[in-house]
Chains A and B, each alone.
Chain A
Amino acid sequence: MALSVDELKAAIIEKATKAPKPQLYIKDFYACDADSKPRVIKNVANDLVKEGKLMFWSSGSTTMYALPSRIKNEETRPQD
């Protein structure tokens, strides 16, 4: 049976917290619940962004997800 939205949110946050790399592809979250359709998982991940619990990380051509606390930011990086 597919996880509830709240269970799915918890599983996604856990994944984003424990993953060895901070940036995750949307596909990395599919494993959080094999019974939920990719588009459901995508919607829940994007809701977490709206709630401020995840953030988008973009190379311009590719967009990934990350916990805000784990991300390296250009403007917080020391400037020469």
Chain B
Amino acid sequence: MPKHDTPLMDELEKGPWPSFVTDLKRQAETKPECWDILGQMELSFKDRITHWKHGGIVGVFGYGGGIVGRYSDSPKQFPGVAHFHTVRLNQPSSKFYSSAKLRDICNLWEKYGSGMTNMHGSTGDLVLLGTRTENLEPLFYDLTHDLKQDLGGSGSNLRTPACCIGSARCEWSCYDTASICHHLTMHYQDEIHRPAFPYKFKFKFSGCPNDCVASIARSDFALIGTWKDDIRIDQDAVQGYIKGDYKPNGGARAKSKPFDIDEDVLALCPTACMRMKDNKLQIDNKNCTRCMFCLNMMPRALRPGVIKGASILCGAKAPILDGAQLATLIIPFVEVTADNEYENIIEVIESIWDWWMEAGKNRERLGETMQRLGLPTFLKVMDVTPIPQHIKIPRENPYVFWTDEEVPGGFERDIREFRKKHAQ
């Protein structure tokens, strides 16, 4: 039985898109606190403002992250959501599940929580939405003992790493994103669960430059797959596309005008490095930047090369405070292999941390520290040799910070000696 009148929320039961309101009502049949979720949400719709109080200090003992505290500002009206803390569960790489695992999680949440979830949070965690403080420790006990899994990160921690589907079901993935994501998640459990840094730090792993987990936009450390050698071409398949046997762009459009390789691929290649000669597709691979556009257009005909690895880019973040930043290319190519337990990547990550933990101000993301102290400083501490790949264009101002040692004779000069030759 509905506990509150919710005429505004009820409006959101109409329409073709799945309705979270209908879903909440269905859940409320067995988890009556969902009526209070609906009730408080209705009040927010009426008042046009949130009714959640600010923050709260809750967690499981010994962890500095994984739980976000939340309290209603109208607990008398909505006692079912007086406490409404979220629990972040670290998701399996690429968000694959078995129904058995999901049912276990549902049963856990039926026992301890509101029954509502986010599949998934923006960072990647499986988010359990709404529980009481006294349920946190018992939930954590069952989670670790019975479900054999763990919380994700929040606060000034390493946030839960996330990756694309990778080579599990994608022909473009240049390394096994799921494996390194899992490996580093396990390797850095302490950094995920306890504060370690001036502010949050995010890893994201994308298998190719299409970047399906948006690593270049939102991770402090982005590993984006790429390759070093030539794009592999199947000339027969190229002809298949030209003849119209295959749908262009992997069939991404329901209705396309007839495929024209000149107009739809060659002319749109950003580096103009492709041409047809004697009815064969030629790619000037030296001038290709591996943007993926032609591969996206003709997936049956073109594949990444065979010398595969990844580029490392650093410092992306959303706008708060000084504006958004995209990640900056730092290392053009690294091998990504489990054979060395990703030692070469771990080394890069830890040089970043050693520097940022000292140089970063409180609540300053890596990208902001990089911007404040400069890319040259960052490259120096990373022991990376500057190369033109680090920049879009050469610098446009002449203000070079030369140092004492770099100028013959140094900075110390004698003004009196100078005056002997140059009268005032």
Contact, chains A and B (beta carbon distance below 8 A)? yes
By a beta-carbon cutoff of 8 Å, the part of chain A in contact with chain B is 25-27, 30, 37-39, 42-43, 46, 49-50, 55-65, 71, 73-75, 79
Distance in angstroms from B113 CB to nearest chain A CB is 18
User: Chain B residues near A39 (CB, 8 Å)?
Assistant: 196, 353-354, 357
A62's partner among B53, B156, B354, B361 (CB-CB below 8 A) is B156
Please give, as numbers and ranges, the residues of chain A lying within 8 Å of B197 by CB-CB distance.
26
Nearest A residue to B83, CB-CB: A75
A46: which of B71, B194, B198, B362 is its contact (CB, 8 Å)?
B194
A-B pairs under 8 A by CB, number:
94
Assuming the contacts A25-B362, A49-B194, asked whether A62 and B155 have C-beta atoms less than 8 A apart, the reply is: yes
Q: Tell me which of B58-66, B176-184, B243-251, B412-420 binds A.
A: B58-66
Question: How distant is the Cα of A79 from the Cα of B65 in the complex, in angstroms?
Answer: 26
Cβ B75 vs Cβ A79 within 8 A: yes
Chain B, interface residues (CB within 8 Å), range:
35 or more
* Interface pair A63/B157, CB less than 8 Å apart: yes
Residue ID in chain B nearest A75 by CB atoms? B133
B199 touching A62, Cβ below 8 Å:
yes
For B157, list chain A residues within 8 Å (CB): 63
The answer, yes or no, to whether B195 is at the interface (CB within 8 Å) is yes
Contact string against A for B residues 49-71, beta-carbon threshold 8 Å, 1 for contact and 0 otherwise: 00001011111001111001101
Query: Which residue from chain A places its CB closest to the CB of B358 in the assembled complex?
Result: A38
User: B215 in the interface, Cβ–Cβ < 8 Å?
Assistant: no
Decide: B357 and A74 in contact? CB cutoff 8 A.
Answer: no
Chain A interface main SS type = mixed
**Residue B280 CB within 8 A of the other chain:** no
Q: Which of B62, B65, B75, B358 contacts A58 (CB 8 A)?
A: B65
Q: Is A30 a contact partner of B196 (Cβ separation < 8 A)? A: no
Question: CA–CA, A2 to B56, complex, Å?
Answer: 36
Please give, as numbers and ranges, the residues of chain B lying within 8 Å of A42 by CB-CB distance.
194-196, 357
Is B57 touching A60 in the complex (CB atoms < 8 A)? no
- Contact indicator A57/B57 (Cβ below 8 Å): yes
For the complex, give the distance between the alpha carbons of A17 and B53 in Å: 29
B164-205 interface bits toward A, Cβ cutoff 8 Å, 1 = contact, 0 = none? 000000000000000000000000001000111111100000
| B68: contacting residue among A55, A60, A62, A79, CB under 8 A | A60
What 15 new A-B contacts, CB under 8 Å, besides A27-B360, A56-B155? Answer: A26-B357, A39-B357, A46-B195, A56-B57, A58-B57, A58-B154, A58-B155, A59-B155, A61-B154, A63-B155, A63-B195, A73-B57, A74-B57, A74-B58, A74-B71
- How many whole Å from B409's CB to the nearest CB in chain A? 34
